[in-house]
Chain A
Amino acid sequence: MNDATRQARSPSDRARQEETRAKAMGHIVLNVTLAVLFIFLFLRAGSLPSSMWEPLGSGSFPRMVLAALVVFNGLIIATEVRHFIAMPALPAKALTGWCYQHRLAFGVLGLFTLFILAVPILGFRWSSLPFLIACQFLLGARHFRGILIAIAVALVMSFGIEALFRDVFTISLPRGLWN
């Protein structure tokens, strides 16, 4: 049991500490990933051609920016590691709980991925229609009236938007493989 755990006086204190540690862990994972990516790009930018008659080569500006990014990431990681160490260990199911809390966002992102994949095949109209209905259903349109509204909104925003862009703005949205 570390100092922080001993100092946690109430369940809400404990919950706050767990949240701080979870956040710190998330930030460390993200910043380490970014730092690795930036170091890789920094090395790659080193092979970009330099100019004979200009003081800066192709890779100079990106390398300056990438060097700054690596430094900023390093400093953020150092700060977050301090927070992480100071707080008690997370319960075993913390990650599962976090994923469950973000299920709506993940669900919408998943549906959006399917929507983009479907556009070249089904066309804009027929991929946006199910996307809009499924999304509204996922976010809470479960009763008869809600579903009716969801279908009406989906029809207007898929067929209506397609017609608006085609006939008024003369911009053709994807029509799919069968059109």
Chain B
Amino acid sequence: MADFFLQALGQVGSPMVLALITIGVLFGIIGGCIPGFTVTMAILVVFPFTFAMDPISGVSLMVGVFVGGYSGGLVSGIMLGIPGTPSSITTVYDGYPMAQKGEPGRALGIGVAASFIGTLISVAVLVFFGPLIASYSMKFRPWEITSLIVFALTLVAGLSNGAMLKGLLAAALGLLITTVGYDRNSNLRFDFDLPVLGSGFEILPVMIGIFAFSQLMGNLEKLRDDKSDIKDVNTNVAIPYRQILVDMSRQKINTVRSSLIGSLVGALPGTGGTVANFISYDQAKKMSRHPERFGTGTPDGIVASEASNSAVAGGAFVPTLALGIPGDLPMAIMMGVLILHGITPGPLMFEQNPVLVGAIYASLLIGAVVMVLSQLLLVRWFAKISLIPQQVLVPVVLMLCAVGAFALNNNLFDVWVLFIFGILGYLLWKAEVPLTPLILGVVLGDNMERQLFRALELDSSWLTFLTRPLSALFLALAVVSLLFSLYQNRKIRLHALETKGE
């Protein structure tokens, strides 16, 4: 693997690819620092630009966006008190008070340094565990893969805050979308005599439509509710480098612990940066000698939040590359992009495309360096950019989504697919149906059907799913995750009733 990594480093180190990573990181930071834009949206906007690129260039650009996006949320969180992405919510708890006390540069510097170390640790986790899990999962047969996909879908559906049934509905709807068009025996399904439906729906217009429209229309609803003017922000920020070195030297354990939490949470399907930064912040507070300082502008809180949400970047790649199962929503989109470039993520990727895997490692590392340099040098510009109003953002992003959908196959039908699934996504979002399980269902549907067919071809008994230990374990975990979710739902309901009673 070391040879392949060096080979990949050579390719990623070319001026062209370095420039692409830099552009990706800058765009990711910009996307992350604009409230309501999110990392996923940044990835969606950039992906059409990768169509004409070779896989390594395209993937490097996307990885750059990924690294930049996870760290970008801290700028608006610290300067405006509004988290740029949901994964930087806890950054606001201490970053904003510190900035209000007249130390915005210190808050930003600590956040950037923690993000950098978080990304590096998560890459180490990816390099160590990725190949290990991949080599183990090579032993998986169709029964295990089917059960693993069922587990991933139930886990994600169950994690949908008090809406397990809706999460399951969304996951099943995602699976259904993949059944349109020709099946493996060339039989047409649900084509309604429309030739355009013969080849089914492209994954990317479906994913973009579902995610982008609900997100943008949601932003419009906030625009309607929020009548306040844009805050007057002083973007003149000086970074006190010496002070940050002192602060970070006192945060060694907190940084490592938070980075490991971020990597681990990132590797679990359906969790992502938001869960990571809450768990990590909570742990840092519990372990701290001064928990009362949390929320008042302590460096501990910023480090816990930023190290963990940036560590999600590397962690989320572990299940995507090793098992072909994306860890979170941005990674599901990333997987769609890899498939578009003819690469199927999964255990075989380490054997068939080792240079590309090495390129992902190298891009993450280089991206982290570019991220820290850009954040420190250009922070005042990012703070200004985070003030871009939704009235400009929404039409521009919608138009770029349409361009992306069209450029995929030079086909206007894909733009209509984007639009129709966009409306469906918006309606489902309004009905409080979580969209992450839906997108995961869309990404995993084809593979699930294929593996189920193969399993039953090899042994027509459904009982085999329960007699094979690992398959039975995954199915048992799926049941446990649903039961746990039912318990959580009940707890949330009882809590709501108690609050109402008071």
Task: Give which listed residue, A62, A105, A140, contacts B221 with CB less than 8 A.
Answer: A105
CB neighbors of A among B186-243 (8 A): 187, 189-190, 216-217, 220-221, 223-224
CB nearest to A101 among chain B residues: B224
For the complex formed, measure the closest distance between the CB of B499 and the CB atoms of chain A, giving whole angstroms: 12
CA–CA, A28 to B443, complex, Å? Answer: 28
Name the B residues within 8 Å of A136 (CB-CB).
391-392, 395
Q: With A139-B220, A165-B403 given, is the CB distance from A65 to B175 under 8 Å?
A: yes
CB distance from A78 to the nearest CB of B (A): 10
Nearest neighbor of A105 in chain B, beta-carbon distance: B217
- Partner of B423 from the list A58, A109, A171 (CB cut-off 8 Å) is A109
The reply on A10 being an interface residue by CB < 8 A is no
User: How would you classify the secondary structure of chain B's contact residues: helix, strand, loop or mixed?
Assistant: helix
Tell whether A51 is near chain B: CB-to-CB under 8 Å: yes
Q: Is B389 an interface residue (CB 8 A)?
A: yes
CB B465 to nearest CB in A, in angstroms, measures 13
Instruction: List A contacts of B52 (CB < 8 A).
Output: 168-171
As a 0/1 sequence over residues 16 to 49 of chain A, the CB contacts with chain B under 8 angstroms (1 = contact) are 0000000100110011000000100100110011
Q: Flag whether B406 is at the interface (Cβ < 8 A).
A: yes
Do A58 and B449 form a contact, CB below 8 Å, given A68-B172, A119-B415, A173-B406? no
- Kindly identify which residue among B175, B410, B432, B449 contacts A172, using a CB–CB cutoff of 8 Å: B410
Give the number of residues in A that approach B within 8 Å (Cβ atoms).
64
Interface residues in B, total, Cβ within 8 A: 55
Residues of chain A within 8 A (CB-CB) of B416 are 116
Are B403 and A55 touching (Cβ within 8 A)?
no
What are 26 A-B contacts with C-beta separation under 8 Å?
A30-B427, A31-B431, A48-B187, A49-B185, A54-B185, A54-B456, A58-B185, A58-B189, A61-B449, A61-B452, A61-B453, A62-B176, A72-B168, A76-B165, A104-B223, A108-B394, A115-B399, A115-B402, A119-B406, A139-B220, A139-B391, A153-B392, A153-B396, A171-B52, A173-B407, A174-B412
Binding site for B on A (CB under 8 A): 23, 26-27, 30-31, 38, 41, 44-45, 48-49, 51, 54-56, 58-59, 61-62, 65-66, 68-69, 72-73, 75-76, 79, 101-102, 104-105, 108-109, 112-113, 115-116, 119-120, 124, 128, 131-132, 135-136, 139-141, 146, 149-150, 153, 157-158, 161, 165, 168-174
